[in-house]
Amino acid sequence: MPINQQILLDNRPMGEAAASNFMLVSSDTPELKEGQVLVHHHFLSLDPYMRGRMSESKSYAAPQPLGQVMQGGTAGEVIESRSPKFEPGDKVVGMGGWQQYSVVDVDKADQPGALRKVDTTHVPLSHYLGAVGMPGVTAWYGLVKIIEPKVGQTITVSAASGAVGSALGALAKARGCRVVGVAGGPDKCAYVVNELGFDDCIDYREHGNALSLSSALQDACPDGVDGHFENVGGMVLDAVLPRMNAFGSVALCGMIAGYDGKPVPLTQPSLILLSRLKIQGFIVSEHMEVWPEALKELGALVGSGKLRPRESVAHGLENAPEAFLGLLKGRNFGKQLVKLI
């Protein structure tokens, strides 16, 4: 059995996460028992939610235990099988964690995040960790089930060039909406408009405060905003709320601006009342019932070229911590992955 490189959570962050929170180790891969398969990971997904699990503060999920392999989504290939459900050569996605190989108990494969086969004929394997995976379904759920867009409405999204934001744009365009993104920097904004097909994108870094950003949003959204998909919090949300139309909806997906401990205050909560807004937080893994329908639409969008997701790829497991810390600072440009082979 192969030697397996793994990254463990060694200690919890005090304030900002740091490379010293992680530890790289090597271990033997155990022999397979009946009902188990050995998966060789080709890609590891790095996701903002991992920062929350590194801490012990209140959350919807249990903290990542210390001294254990960091949890995370993986895409790879079955290389040995003692289960009739999988054969060597099957391409699979699962929650293999920050390591090169995982041994998976296939009988538990009905649980959320458990191992499933994927078809790489039209969709590259890595996209099953992004647009045609958890981030894509996240966009789908927030848009379809919370915002409930109608043709001709205006939808805004923060972190628009990212894994979730890029999928959100394609899904909203497919529903006949005007879609306006907010992203950091001219390159990301150009990609959002030219490659992803958004109607407009505002570079929030050009705006020193929420008032200025809100004024730019007013220009980009002349009919106001009917639905907003929030990934960041803080200044962006403060800028969007004054632009929301009466009875608009906000899908509160993430508040990455605060994940490393910075406060993300909301300066005008009275706007929620004045505009009679619906604001709903959600966690995608609690809505497994929508995954098949969402993945079908997302797969078709990617397969047909209507959604061209971008990826930031770090190489080698040892570079996962730096890539993860970069994700928390907005250094990624598109879905952040680590290539492990």
Site of interaction with ligand NDP (CB under 6 A): 47-49, 135, 138, 159, 161-165, 183-184, 188, 231-232, 253-254, 256-257, 282-284, 327-330, 332, 335
Are 335 and 310 in contact, with CB atoms under 8 Å apart? yes
| CB of residue 106 to ligand NDP, shortest distance in Å | 26
| CB of residue 36 to ligand NDP, shortest distance in Å | 29
| CB of residue 68 to ligand NDP, shortest distance in Å | 22
Q: Given the complex with ligand NDP, which of 86 and 324 has the nearer CB atom?
A: 324
Look-up: residue for tokens 């497994």?
288
Are 284 and 134 in contact, with CB atoms under 8 Å apart? yes
| CB of residue 12 to ligand NDP, shortest distance in Å | 18
CA 105 to CA 324: how far, in whole Å? 28
Q: How many CA atoms lie within 13 A of 315 on its CB side?
A: 1
| CB of residue 213 to ligand NDP, shortest distance in Å | 12
Q: Given the complex with ligand NDP, which of 83 and 332 has the nearer CB atom?
A: 332
Are 18 and 325 in contact, with CB atoms under 8 Å apart? yes
Per DSSP, the three-state class of 156 is strand
Q: Given the complex with ligand NDP, which of 106 and 131 has the nearer CB atom?
A: 131
Percent helix, strand, coil in the chain, to 5, is 35, 25, 40
Are 237 and 294 in contact, with CB atoms under 8 Å apart? no
CA 323 to CA 337: how far, in whole Å? 8
Q: Given the complex with ligand NDP, which of 317 and 328 has the nearer CB atom?
A: 328
| CB of residue 52 to ligand NDP, shortest distance in Å | 8
Q: Given the complex with ligand NDP, which of 135 and 248 has the nearer CB atom?
A: 135
Q: Which two tokens stand for residue 196?
A: 């992803």
Q: Given the complex with ligand NDP, which of 165 and 299 has the nearer CB atom?
A: 165
Are 160 and 199 in contact, with CB atoms under 8 Å apart? no
Q: Which two tokens stand for residue 153?
A: 């409405």
Those residues with Cβ within 8 angstroms of residue 341's Cβ, 6 or more apart along the chain or in another chain:
40, 41, 42
Q: Given the complex with ligand NDP, which of 49 and 86 has the nearer CB atom?
A: 49
| CB of residue 275 to ligand NDP, shortest distance in Å | 23
